[in-house]
């Protein structure tokens, strides 16, 4: 069977670039035709990352971005890949999961037919240059790395306000994710391995992960406070 990929066109139907930016928790400042903010990966000021919702990418999808810090940009999937530091196929799978796409029934297409998004070396105010970004080298959906995810979680004021000590937060895996700007609670399999994280949208609402990781022999140790 040919490797599974998600056609980018199907992912683009799920959300526009502004909704993707909201999913990434970007603090955007609106201008006349653009949205700007600090790049969550490369820093800078509140104008470093520029989003132009009404400019079309080389492939024709509406909405592009440009990062002044590294002089690169692209479409909405490339924005997610840029901010999350992953390949574009990985980003496409992540977006699909966040918006509830049934990945079990996703198309199986030959790797030679997959359409790549473009990465621009021009400002997002102009049509992107004809430069293709490399897609993820994997042939299967990205494997969630719970240890890497937890490394971005900290004991913040938001966690402290729940009345949980730093030691208890580390023990039960409750932390503030610095990239997603949200509280997450870890859940474990009987073998001690992390099966996923529950996102607290607000004190009265939680968001379950799109899928739970299966039980495995790999044990993820609890991270203790220094």
19-59 pLDDT, tens digit each? 999 888 888 998 888 999 999 888 888 899 999 999 998 88
| Domain presence at residue 162 | yes
Burial of 8 (0-12, 13-18, 19+ CB in 10 A): buried
| 151 in the same domain as 83 | no
Is 183 inside any structural domain?
Answer: yes
Same domain, yes or no: 93 and 151: no
Bigger pLDDT: 140 vs 48: 48
How long is the chain?
A: 226
Choose the weakest-confidence range: 62-76, 112-126, 150-164, 192-206. 112-126
Same domain as 151, residue 108: no
DSSP state of 8: H
List, for residues 68-116, the tens digit of each pLDDT value.
998 999 999 999 999 988 888 888 888 888 887 776 655 544 334 333 3
For residue 214, what pLDDT is reported?
66
Whether the Cβ atoms of residue 2 and residue 111 lie closer than 8 Å to each other:
yes
User: Does one domain contain both 41 and 109?
Assistant: yes
Element spanning 96, H or E: helix 88-98
CA 218 distance to own-chain centroid: 24
Q: Quote the CA–CA distance of 170 and 88 in Å, as a whole number.
A: 32
Query: Same domain, yes or no, for 90 and 47?
Result: yes
Pair 94, 170 in one domain: no
Q: Are residues 53 and 104 in the same domain?
A: yes
64 and 23 within one domain: yes
Looking up residue 21, the CATH number of its domain turns out to be 3.90.580.10
16 and 87 share one domain: yes
**Domain C-terminal end among 113, 130, 164:** 113
- Tens digits of residue pLDDT in 159-177: 888 888 888 888 788 888 8
**Structural domain boundaries, residue 34:** 8-113
Asked if the structure places residue 212 within a domain, the reply is no
25 Cβ contact partners less than 8 Å away, ≥ 6 residues apart: 179, 180, 181, 182
Structural domains counted in the chain: 2
Residue 134 lies in a domain: no
The percent of residues in the chain predicted with pLDDT above 70, rounded, is: 68
Closest C-alpha to 32, from 9, 12, 54: 54
Q: Is the pTM of this model over 0.85?
A: no
Mean predicted lDDT score pLDDT of the chain: 74
């Amino acid at each position: 069977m040919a490797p599974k990929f998600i056609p980018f066109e199907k992912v683009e139907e799920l959300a526009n670039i502004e909704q993707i930016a909201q999913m990434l928790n970007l603090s955007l400042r609106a201008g006349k035709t653009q949205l700007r903010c600090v790049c969550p990966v490369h820093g800078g000021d509140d104008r470093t990352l520029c989003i132009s919702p009404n400019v079309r990418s080389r492939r024709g999808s509406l909405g592009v971005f440009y990062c002044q810090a590294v002089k690169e940009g692209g479409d909405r999937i490339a924005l997610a890949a840029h901010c999350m530091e992953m390949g574009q196929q990985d980003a496409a799978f992540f977006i699909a999961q966040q918006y509830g796409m049934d990945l079990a029934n996703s198309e199986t297409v030959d790797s030679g037919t997959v359409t790549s998004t473009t990465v621009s070396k021009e400002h997002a105010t102009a049509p992107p240059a004809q430069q293709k970004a490399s897609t993820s080298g994997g042939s299967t959906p990205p494997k969630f790395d719970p240890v890497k995810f937890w490394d971005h979680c900290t004991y913040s004021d938001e966690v402290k306000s729940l009345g949980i000590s730093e030691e208890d937060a580390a023990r039960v895996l409750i932390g503030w994710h610095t990239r997603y700007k949200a509280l997450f609670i870890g859940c474990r399999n009987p073998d001690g391995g992390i099966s996923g994280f529950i996102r607290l949208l607000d004190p009265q609402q939680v968001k379950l992960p799109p899928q739970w990781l299966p039980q495995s022999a790999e044990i993820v140790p609890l991270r203790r406070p220094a």
